[in-house]
Amino acid sequence: MPRTPLTYEAVIERAADLADEGGLTSVSLSAVARSLSVQTPSLYGHVKDLAAMRDGVSILALRELDARSGDAIAGRGREDALRAICDAYRSYASSHPGRWEALQRRLGETVARSDAAARSGRTMAAVLRGYGIRESDRVHATRLIGAFLNGFVNLEHIGAFSHSEPDVTASWDELVGRVHLLLESWGRGPEEAAQEDRL
């Protein structure tokens, strides 16, 4: 059986698969080389070093996650869109734990400036526009959603919710709903929200 041609894409894909199997810290240049049945020096024609390879996994994860998210929110708005994108992130983290881990670190400039990161930002911005959140506030709202998603998903992954009731999915549904209410209030603006509360 002929060996798969060694390309940048093949190296990153294999690194991502190994990360899913054993965690990102288990991924090394030598481990990827062994998995591809080549010598480690052969990889240097495709990736600069381990940091560059991990950045490649992060970009791949962003690209895959955005594809899922974009499909999930298509034709949806406000709470439906929020739930769809949150569910897409949670599902991706569960099915690709190593790729998800590659996003839970300080990302390099290559990742931050990648087309994949820009597309991911535009997908989240599309959800926030449905709430009427001003462009100047979207970075704060994006960070809020990111903090919720990363915190909840990572705690779920380590089993932090497995010894108490109710079921974790019940808490997930409730908390996504609470984030929705916060975004609704944010979209109205503090003065309008305060006026409505007085009525």
In this structure, what token pair is assigned to residue 108? 């390099």
In this structure, what token pair is assigned to residue 116? 């994949």
Domain map (residue ranges) of the chain: 58-198
d(CA 24, CA 21): 9
Q: Cis link prior to 166 (omega < 30° from 0)?
A: yes
DSSP assignment letter at 44: G
The pLDDT value given to residue 1: 43
Contact (Cβ atoms closer than 8 angstroms) between residue 12 and residue 53? yes
Question: Which amino acid, residue 65?
Answer: L
Q: What CATH number labels 58-198?
A: 1.10.357.10
Reply yes or no on whether the pLDDT at 27 is more than 80.
yes
The pLDDT value given to residue 179: 97
Per residue in 87-120, pLDDT (tens digit) is 999 999 999 999 999 999 998 899 999 999 999 9
Is the pTM higher than 0.95? The answer reads no
d(CA 57, CA 51): 10
Per residue in 130-178, pLDDT (tens digit) is 999 999 999 999 999 999 999 999 999 988 888 888 899 999 999 999 9
The pLDDT value given to residue 49: 96
Distances (CA, A) of 113 to 66, 100, 194: 15, 19, 39
The helices-and-strands tally (H runs, E runs) of the chain is 10, 0
* Percent residues over pLDDT 90 in the chain: 83
The greatest distance separating any two alpha carbons of the chain, rounded to the nearest whole angstrom, comes to 74
